[in-house]
Amino acid sequence: MLLSPKYSFLFVHIAKTGGTSVRAALERLRWRDPWYYPMFLCSRLSHLSGHRIASKLPRHAKVVAAKELLPKEYFDTLFKFAFVRNPWDLQVSSFHHIRRERPHYLGGHQNFEDFLRWKLDPERPYQYHVDTSITPQTDYLIDLSGKIVVDYIGRYERLHADFVEICTKIGIPPPGLPHARQAKDRQKDYRSYYRDATAELVADYFARDIEMLGYGFDPPD
């Protein structure tokens, strides 16, 4: 999550949706923000305490955390946005990310289908780096009553165009988006990773995301 008091925006960072690139592009604005140094100090104090003093919004915090912590009149003035991604594509991206950067979290499952079935097993013990990417994306967008409270939902599938529109709404010239954490060993079409059974497994698990965000296994023409 990235909060900018100067530019009055709140970026809700959902894992594996291009958020690292968006964050990198926008973080440079923080140097122009008069609140940067107090926020940086709070972040360091939180880190030094083992995050036991609740003085920062975590990187992948849900929007409800900001809504509950910030004064209502201030929260309401912020331009709140997030990016989402096709759930089938997101799971492929997550697999390659974990295999590349945290292979010890694969649970011994070296191919995508085995890993996916293990990952979505409700009996599996919780692991942050695995479970962040199977938390429903809509959970990040809603308040305690289930209402979507972000103002703009961008799509990973049109990341650059939507980012330009977001920057226009914020009132800044759109900075370039760096391509962070690109997987060089994945096949381009996520559909090639699935059989009917595993595609249906994702459809069932992420049914709410698919319905609310309008995704399907096959991308729109």
- For residue 41, what pLDDT is reported? 81
Ordered by start, the domain boundaries in the chain are: 2-213
> Which residues in the chain show pLDDT less than 50?
none
2-213: CATH number: 3.40.50
pTM of the model as a whole: 0.89
- For residue 185, what pLDDT is reported? 66
- For residue 136, what pLDDT is reported? 96
- For residue 153, what pLDDT is reported? 98
- For residue 37, what pLDDT is reported? 73
- For residue 184, what pLDDT is reported? 62
- For residue 40, what pLDDT is reported? 75
Residue by residue, DSSP assigns the chain as -EEETTTTEEEE--TTSSHHHHHHHHHGGGGG-TTHHHHHHHHHHHHHTTS-S--S--TT--HHHHHHHS-HHHHHHSEEEEEE--HHHHHHHHHHHHHHH-GGGSTT--SHHHHHHHHT-TTSPP-HHHHGGGS-GGGGTB-TTS-B--SEEEEGGGHHHHHHHHHHHHTSPPPP----S--SSS-S-GGGG--HHHHHHHHHHTHHHHHHHT--SSPP-
Q: What is the pLDDT of residues 59-85, one digit of tens each?
A: 899 999 999 989 999 999 999 999 999
- For residue 73, what pLDDT is reported? 96
